[in-house]
Amino acid sequence: MFRFQELESEGNGHQILEGSRLEDALCTWSQFADECANEASLMQLQHELRRCNNRRDELKLTHDRLILHYTALADRIAQLSDVSTASKTELQRTTEQVHVDNSYVSALYM
């Protein structure tokens, strides 16, 4: 990385690297990448990848469970909505019948 900075500071500035400067920069980058790719860093990256893959699998499993739970709850709510509607209808019918019966009883005692 330092050699690339040296190339940039040699008066090249922000110009496009061409010819031998480009080859030097690519060579420098290749050497830097090779130095960074040692066994320990590769093992660390592989460990991190396994950890991330395991976490992804756990999250997928949790997601699937939540979808199943949500579907079951939505079905139960739909069933309860039907029961609620039926109960309201029955309550209204009973209330109307009580009013009719009260009117009948009131008419008998007058």
The reported pLDDT for the residue numbered 102 is 85
pLDDT digits (tens, 9 = 90+) for 4-50: 454 455 554 555 555 566 666 666 655 555 555 677 888 888 999 99
pLDDT digits (tens, 9 = 90+) for 70-95: 999 999 999 999 899 999 999 999 99
Question: 28, 27, 23: which is closest to 5 by C-alpha?
Answer: 28
The Cα 10–Cα 95 span in angstroms is 95
The Cα 75–Cα 81 span in angstroms is 10
In terms of pTM, does the model score above 0.85?
A: no
User: How many C-beta atoms surround the C-beta of residue 21 within 10 A?
Assistant: 15
Q: Where are the chain's structural domains?
A: 1-37
What is the average pLDDT across 57-67? Answer: 97
- Say if residues 31 and 7 touch (Cβ distance below 8 Å): no
The Cα 32–Cα 29 span in angstroms is 5
